[in-house]
A and B are shown apart, each in its own frame.
Chain A
């Protein structure tokens, strides 16, 4: 099955600044792919490259089987795009905007439109410029979901929204999930953890990993080893052990290549005198923090050079 989105060494530079650095990723069909990363990581730039709003400096991207650089015109009728920065035709009412967009899309579903209007409680007669930020996002969602796009691209869609609006939008999205592929960016891990099927982590323009959420959760564990006595941090720890630290007799780190079968045996062999070895699942937030801190430490703050630790992660 062809992926809905595929990038190959996709890069974008603005002068001396590299916003997206040789990113290669696949987004399978029907996935809910969350691209996460801190502010300034390059998420919005990557999305703009996928939508042909920006042109890549190097590499290429395929979106719905098309070269992203050729994306435009009628091909956009299969893609829904919502961004926190996107302008709306402010002079129009909500109803006027939906009326205006409707003829652009052959697949526009009037019933779904009515359902979304009800679901989001949209005031059809009010001008967009008079709406709150949350209402504008809802209107934008409705206008991008009503034609049942094959791909929905969302750039920080929930940023700055109150929890109620955010939940409404997520609910609207999840309802569409079976029939579409969703690619969204966020810097808030908690908001995407509950419904994403795939996740990619972008750090200073580089994609540190991109995989299924379940695989990711399964391979990360917080490992706590209680040693016989106080001990310094051992040298030459594996690169897959992130954020190692010791306190008295306890060695603690995040293992990024956990295996049910292999890891307990490996720990027992490495620390034969250990009194206790514990493996605890960790949240997505903890995983990212561990990776981000490791990457920062490895980069010394600013370098873009990939390290063994990053690769291992």
Chain B
């Protein structure tokens, strides 16, 4: 312990400049975030932009700090002063960890407490979430940076290595996206572990090996194996995603919680960039929905298409993720889309097709509802967060364009926020619950993690409550008047199931392929079949 502290104090004295820089960046970031939280600055306001820039600098400060402290007793080379001195490797590693704990984690932890307190949340209630967030940041940021520092001999080489890794990462991400796009199902519980655990284990192993044995090439080989390991996990992960769908989304006897039917659309067009290896044509089908029970919400998580041509030839897609906004009671619509490889498209084009869509559904039910007369200032919503009216950059300064909410540490539960916009300027009289224009929006998640990778524990959310003020300029000007009830309805998962829609006489969109860009035009279909 004595040696650990001795090395720690030496580093603390020698690296005061780097410590100061990192602390200053963190302090400025906290200051900017606090100012944004206090002022309710408009999205894209100068303080918010500055805070975003500072948020990008925080990891840079960490990088400099972690690299410099590890390079103070660098592990690459055979001329370092310390390797012939009685350093105990475990003490050296512990001293570096203590340094990062003191000057990276502790300030960041304190920053999170300050941000939560400023946002109106008692920090002591969210310690576990903050620690979980720190764990995630360690895995995706601090450990990789430290691992790279242990296998590089100087800051310049470290910088070049990091740039190389970033380029490689982009290439790997593109390759993974190519594979994943062909097999993508809804994200499984396994996904997070698959893509989080290998980097943590590999980086920790490389660091441990280097401090223990100083075998640079072994440690480098271990790190180089990481991309291969990650790439290798894509196929099993995709296979797992596909294989589990029928088990996770079983067909139930009681029927689907929503009725879906195809709505022919004429003349819609758009463009899409294909995957790198294989051109994929996006095929969109708009569905109308009815039959969602009062108090329920339905989310279409994934779609699988079974396409049959008049000559009997057939193609079935993999499950493909959708992630639509939740469907509520009443009539509504949902856009589905699946990708079709260009060679399949060429085979089926210009023919009236039978399309059998299978949709994976998540059914949620109201867990709680809170209705509050809209106050002028900040207001707390139990179990959700703290909200305030949002002013935007509209022609009229101070005009309300929606609400801005802050949630502590992680996404709030899936929440439907609804209120009434007044069609006329506010006169001091609240808009009645059945008057004005319905303004609504969904935020949150049915499966929030205990924490998430974020530099601020106060998660900022902008909800424009279906306000089209910004899009239409001065047309359809609306006002959100104080006293008008605003309702936060939280949902919890009830179950998962499947439903299907059959479409007859469907024509694939016309496409023009230029390089890796596809321009498509959707034409009409002739006949639809109601949902089962």
Whether a CB of chain B sits under 8 angstroms from the CB of A132 is: no
Verify B86–A85 contact, CB threshold 8 A: no
Partner of B86, one of A48, A51, A54, A77: A77
Q: Is the CB of A74 within 8 A of B86?
A: yes
How would residues 70 to 102 of chain A score, 1 for a CB under 8 Å from any chain B CB and 0 otherwise? 001111110101010111110110000000110
Contacts of B347 in A (CB 8 A): none
Within 8 A of A (CB), among B349-394: none
Across the interface, do A85 and B87 meet the contact criterion of CB distance under 8 Å? no
Is residue A238 contacting chain B, with contact meaning CB distance below 8 A?
no
- Asked whether A86 lies within 8 Å of B85 as measured between CB atoms, the reply is no
Asked if residues B14 and A91 are in contact (CB atoms below 8 Å), the reply is yes
**Number of A-B contacts defined by CB within 8 Å:** 45
B127 at the interface (CB under 8 A from A): no
Tell which of B2, B3, B84, B87 touches A81, judged by Cβ atoms closer than 8 Å: B84
What residues of B have a CB within 8 angstroms of the CB of A74 in the complex?
A: 86, 88
A105 proximity list for chain B (CB < 8 A): 86
CB distance from B2 to the nearest CB of A (A): 7
Interface centre among B14, B78, B86 (most CB of A within 10 A): B86
Q: Is A268 an interface residue (CB 8 A)?
A: no
Tell me if A79 and B79 are in contact (CB < 8 A).
no
Does A54 contact B10, Cβ atoms closer than 8 Å? no
Judge whether B87 and A73 touch: CB under 8 Å. Answer: yes
A301 at the interface (CB under 8 A from B): no
Please tell me if the beta carbons of B80 and A87 are within 8 angstroms of each other in the complex: yes
Name, among B3, B84, B85, the residue most crowded by chain A CB atoms within 10 Å (CB to CB). B84
Asked if A83 contacts B79 (CB within 8 A), the reply is yes
Decide if B85 touches A104 in the complex (CB within 8 Å). Answer: yes
The docked-state distance in angstroms from the alpha carbon of A281 to that of B2 is 57
What CA separation (Å) do A79 and B84 show in the bound complex?
8
Q: Would you call B81 and A73 a contact (CB within 8 A)? A: no
Chain B residues contacting A77 (CB-CB under 8 Å) are 86
A73 touches B86 (CB 8 A): yes
- Tell me if A53 counts as interface (CB < 8 A to partner B): yes
Q: Are B84 and A86 in contact (CB under 8 A)?
A: yes
Closest chain B residue, CB of each to CB of A89: B81
A134 shortest CB reach to chain B, Å? 18
Hey, which chain B residues are within 8 Å of A76, CB to CB? 84-87
Residues of A within 8 Å of B87, CB to CB, are 73, 76, 104
The residue that A87 contacts in the complex, of B10, B14, B81, with Cβ under 8 A, is: B81
Chain B residues with CB below 8 A from A75, complex form: 86
Tell which of B78, B80, B84 touches A54, judged by Cβ atoms closer than 8 Å. Answer: B78
- Residues of B227-285 contacting chain A, CB below 8 A: none
| Interface residue count on the B side (C-beta < 8 Å) | 16
**A contact residues around B10 at 8 Å (CB):** 100
Q: Which residue of A lies closest to B92 (CB)?
A: A73
Question: Nearest-CB distance from B159 to chain A (Å)?
Answer: 20
The answer, yes or no, to whether A234 is at the interface (CB within 8 Å) is no
A87 and B79 contact, CB distance less than 8 A: yes
Q: Which residues of chain A are within 8 angstroms of B84 by Cβ–Cβ distance?
A: 51, 53, 76, 79, 81, 86
Residues in A whose Cβ lies below 8 Å from that of B78: 48, 53-54
A87 contact set on B, CB distance < 8 A? 79-81
For chain A residues 154-206, which have a beta carbon within 8 Å of chain B? none
Task: Determine whether the beta carbon of A103 is less than 8 Å from that of B86.
Answer: no
Cβ of B182 to closest chain A Cβ, rounded Å: 44
One of B3, B6, B79, B86 near A86 (C-beta < 8 A): B79
Closest to B7 in A: A100
When distances are taken between beta carbons in the complex, the residues of chain A under 8 Å from B3 are 103-104
- As a 0/1 sequence over residues 1 to 36 of chain B, the CB contacts with chain A under 8 angstroms (1 = contact) are 011001000100010000000000000000000000
Query: Known contacts being A73-B88, A100-B10, is A85 close to B79, with CB within 8 Å?
Result: yes
Query: Chain B nearest CB: distance from A144 CB in Å?
Result: 9
Q: Which residues of A lie under 8 Å from residue B88 when comparing CB positions?
A: 73-74
Does any Cβ of A come within 8 Å of B89's Cβ?
yes
Q: How far is the CB of A278 from the nearest CB of chain B, in Å? A: 49
Contact in complex: A73, B14 (CB < 8 Å): no
How close is A4's CB to chain B, nearest CB, in angstroms?
16
Nearest A residue (CB) for B213: A55
Cα distance A87–B89 in the bound complex, in angstroms: 19
Query: How near does chain B come to A298, taking the closest CB pair, in angstroms?
Result: 33
CB distance from A210 to the nearest CB of B (A): 23
B-chain residues with CB within 8 Å of residue A51 when the two chains form the complex: 84
B141 within 8 A of A: no
Interface residues of B in 39-95 (CB under 8 A from A): 78-81, 83-89
In the bound complex, how far is the Cα of B2 from the Cα of A92, in angstroms?
20
A86–B6 alpha-carbon span in the complex (Å): 22
Restricting to A42-56, which residues have a CB under 8 Å from any CB of B?
Answer: 48, 51, 53-54
Contact partners of A92 in chain B: CB under 8 A: 14
State whether B2 touches A88 (Cβ < 8 A).
Answer: no
State the CA gap A45–B81 with chains docked (Å): 17
Given the known interface contacts A91-B14, A103-B2, the answer about A53 and B85 at a Cβ–Cβ threshold of 8 Å is no
Cα(A72)–Cα(B2), bound, Å: 18
* A104, B81: Cβ atoms closer than 8 Å: no
**Which B residues are in CB contact (< 8 Å) with A88?**
81
B215 — nearest CB in chain A belongs to which residue? A55
Q: In the complex, are the beta carbons of B85 and A101 less than 8 A apart?
A: yes
- Complex interface: chain A residues within 8 A of B14 (CB): 91-92
How far, in whole Å, are A91 and B79 apart by their CA atoms in the complex?
A: 16
Binary flags per residue of A104-138, CB closer than 8 Å to B gives 1, else 0: 11000000000000000000000000000000000
Q: Write the chain B residue with the least CB distance to A90.
A: B81
List, in ascending order, chain B residues with CB within 8 A of A103's CB.
2-3, 6
Q: Quote the shortest CB–CB distance from B477 to chain A (angstroms).
A: 64
CB-nearest residue of chain B to A106: B86
Which residues in window 136-160 of A have CB below 8 A to B? none
Query: How many angstroms from the CA of A288 to the CA of B85 in the assembled complex?
Result: 34
The CA-CA distance from A101 to B173 in the complex, in Å, is: 47
Q: How far is the CA of A88 from the CA of B85 in the complex (A)?
A: 11
Smallest beta-carbon distance A150→chain B, Å? 13
**Residue contact A72 to B85, C-beta cutoff 8 Å:** no
B89: A residues at CB distance < 8 A: 72-73
Give 11 pairs: A residue, B residue, CB < 8 Å, sorted on A. Answer: A51-B84, A54-B78, A76-B85, A79-B84, A81-B84, A83-B79, A86-B84, A87-B79, A91-B14, A103-B6, A104-B85
A contact residues vs B (CB 8 Å cutoff): 48, 51, 53-54, 72-77, 79, 81, 83, 85-89, 91-92, 100-101, 103-105
Interface pairs A-B: 8 shortest CB-CB = A81-B84, A77-B86, A76-B86, A73-B88, A53-B78, A104-B86, A85-B79, A74-B86
11 further contact pairs, Cβ within 8 A, besides A51-B84, A76-B87, A92-B14 = A53-B83, A73-B86, A73-B87, A74-B88, A83-B79, A85-B79, A86-B79, A86-B84, A87-B79, A103-B6, A104-B3
